[in-house]
C-alpha cells in the first residue's frame, strides 16, 4: 500500500484536531483510498510543552528535518502569525512538497506569492481552513463557481464574535464572560484582539477577494471595525426592535473597483444572516446566473478547521499526487 507522509507544523487546537482525525480515520482512508497516511513529524516551537502527547517521539523544533526528508509529501501548517509560517511554507514548496495552511493572517498577506511559487514548482496549495472554518467555501468558489461572476459577497466570518454576540443576547452574558467561554471552547485566537477587533474577518475577506477577483482592494481603504465596543444595552435595544447585531464582512466588485468592509451592523429578521447564531459562519454569494446562494456551517473550533484541512489533503491525494495539477487560484 502506498504511504503518504505528512508533516504537521503546530500542535495547538487545530494541530491536535488534525492529528486526532487523521489517526482515528486511518483504517477507513486505507480502505477507501488504498493509501496509508503517516504523520512523519510534528514541528512545534517548544517541544517540552508537549511531554504528555501520546506520540511525543514525533515532536521536534527542527523544521530543517522536513526539508531534508524527500519522503514527506505534504506539509500542513497550523501555526499563528506571518512568520515563521511564510518562510516554512516557501521552503516547503521549494522542496517540492504540497502545502496546506490554516493561517489566515499569513495567507492574506502572502497567499498570492505562495500560489505563484507553488505553480512554478508544480505543487498544490490547500487553504480551505483559512476561511469560514468548516464551510467548504474555497472549494465551492474554485470548482463550482467558474461560469458565474460574483458581484458581491456578504458574510459572517468570525465564529468568536458571532458566539459572543449570540451569548450576550440569548444568555445575558457580559462581553467578557462570553469571550472567556469562546476561548475555553477553542474558538478564539490566542490573541482574541484579532477576533473582536475585526482583523480575523478582514484577513478572511482579503483571502476571498484574492480567490474571487485574483486581487485585493487597497487595505488602507478597507473599513475594519470589531465588536469590542458593543454593550449589553446595545444588544437589548436592537433585540427590542427585532434586530440582531452581526459582525458583517462585505466584498463587492463594481466595474473594476473592489471594495470591502468589516463592521458590526444591526440586521432585521428578514435578513438571511439573522438566524446565523453562535459559532456558525455564513457566506452569501451573488452569482450572475444562479442569483443569491448562502452557505453556512461551524466557523471555528478544532474539528471544523481540521475538517477543512483534511478535505484539502483528500483533494491533493485524489489529484495532486498523481497529476501535479496546480493552476493558480483553482
Q: Which residues bind ligand HSE (CB under 6 A)?
A: 133, 158-160, 187-189, 195, 200, 299-300
Active site residues: 204
Nearer to ligand HSE, 41 or 162 (CB): 162
Q: Nearest distance from residue 28's CB to ligand HSE, in Å?
A: 26
Nearest to 194 by CA among 238, 219, 168, 159: 159
Contacts of 66 (CB under 8 A, 6+ apart): 7, 40, 41, 43, 72, 75, 92, 95, 97
Nearer to ligand HSE, 10 or 320 (CB): 10
287 neighbors 150 (Cβ within 8 angstroms): yes
For ligand HSE, which residue has the nearest CB? 160
Write out the three cell numbers for 186: 477553542
Comparing CB distances to ligand HSE, the nearer of 26 and 139 is 139
Minimum CB separation from ligand HSE for residue 101, in Å?
Answer: 12
Residues paired with 4 in a beta bridge? 37
What CA–CA distance (Å, rounded) separates 95 from 69? 9
Nearer Cβ to ligand HSE, position 189 or 312?
189
Q: Residue 241 CB, nearest distance to ligand HSE (Å)? A: 27
For residue 160, the minimal CB distance to ligand HSE (Å) is 3
The string over 309-326, giving b where at least 16 C-beta atoms fall within 10 Å of a residue's C-beta and e elsewhere, is bbbbbebbbeebbeeeeb
Task: Report the Cα–Cα distance between both ends of the chain, in Å, rounded.
Answer: 30
Burial 68-86 (b: 16+ CB within 10 A, else e): eeeebbbbbbbbbeeebbb
Closest CB to ligand HSE among residues 195, 312: 195
**Smallest distance from the beta carbon of 19 to ligand HSE, in angstroms?**
18
Amino acid at each position: 500500500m502506498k504511504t503518504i507522509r505528512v508533516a504537521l507544523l503546530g500542535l495547538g487546537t487545530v494541530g491536535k484536531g488534525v492529528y486526532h482525525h487523521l489517526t482515528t480515520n486511518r483504517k477507513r482512508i486505507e480502505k477507501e483510498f488504498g493509501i496509508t497516511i503517516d504523520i512523519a513529524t510534528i514541528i512545534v516551537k517548544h517541544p517540552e510543552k508537549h511531554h504528555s502527547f501520546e506520540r511525543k517521539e514525533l515532536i521536534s523544533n527542527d523544521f530543517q528535518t522536513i526539508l531534508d526528508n524527500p519522503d514527506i509529501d505534504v506539509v500542513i501548517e497550523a501555526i499563528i502569525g506571518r512568520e515563521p509560517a511564510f518562510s516554512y511554507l516557501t521552503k516547503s514548496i521549494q522542496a517540492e512538497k504540497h502545502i496546506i495552511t490554516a493561517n489566515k493572517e499569513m495567507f492574506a498577506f502572502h497567499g498570492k506569492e505562495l500560489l505563484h511559487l507553488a505553480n512554478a514548482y508544480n505543487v498544490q496549495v490547500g487553504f480551505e481552513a483559512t476561511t469560514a472554518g468548516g464551510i467548504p467555501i474555497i472549494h465551492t468558489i474554485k470548482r463550482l463557481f467558474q461560469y458565474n461572476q460574483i458581484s458581491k459577497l456578504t458574510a459572517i466570518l468570525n465564529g468568536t464574535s458571532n458566539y459572543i454576540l449570540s451569548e450576550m443576547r440569548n444568555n445575558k452574558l457580559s462581553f467578557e464572560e462570553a469571550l472567556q467561554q469562546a476561548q475555553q471552547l477553542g474558538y478564539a485566537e490566542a490573541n482574541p484582539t484579532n477576533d473582536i477587533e475585526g482583523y480575523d474577518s478582514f484577513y478572511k475577506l482579503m483571502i476571498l477577494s484574492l480567490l474571487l477577483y485574483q486581487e485585493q482592494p487597497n487595505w488602507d481603504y478597507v473599513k475594519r471595525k470589531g465588536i469590542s465596543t458593543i454593550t449589553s444595552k446595545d444588544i437589548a435595544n436592537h433585540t427590542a426592535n427585532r434586530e440582531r447585531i452581526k459582525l458583517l464582512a462585505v466584498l463587492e466588485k463594481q466595474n473594476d473597483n473592489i471594495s470591502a468592509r468589516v463592521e458590526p451592523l444591526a440586521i432585521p429578521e428578514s435578513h438571511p444572516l439573522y438566524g446565523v447564531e453562535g459559532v456558525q459562519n455564513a457566506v452569501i454569494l451573488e452569482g450572475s446566473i444562479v442569483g443569491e446562494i448562502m452557505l453556512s456551517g461551524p466557523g471555528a473550533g478544532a474539528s471544523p478547521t481540521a475538517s477543512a484541512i483534511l478535505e484539502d489533503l483528500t483533494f491533493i491525494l485524489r489529484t495532486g499526487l498523481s497529476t501535479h495539477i496546480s493552476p493558480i487560484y483553482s
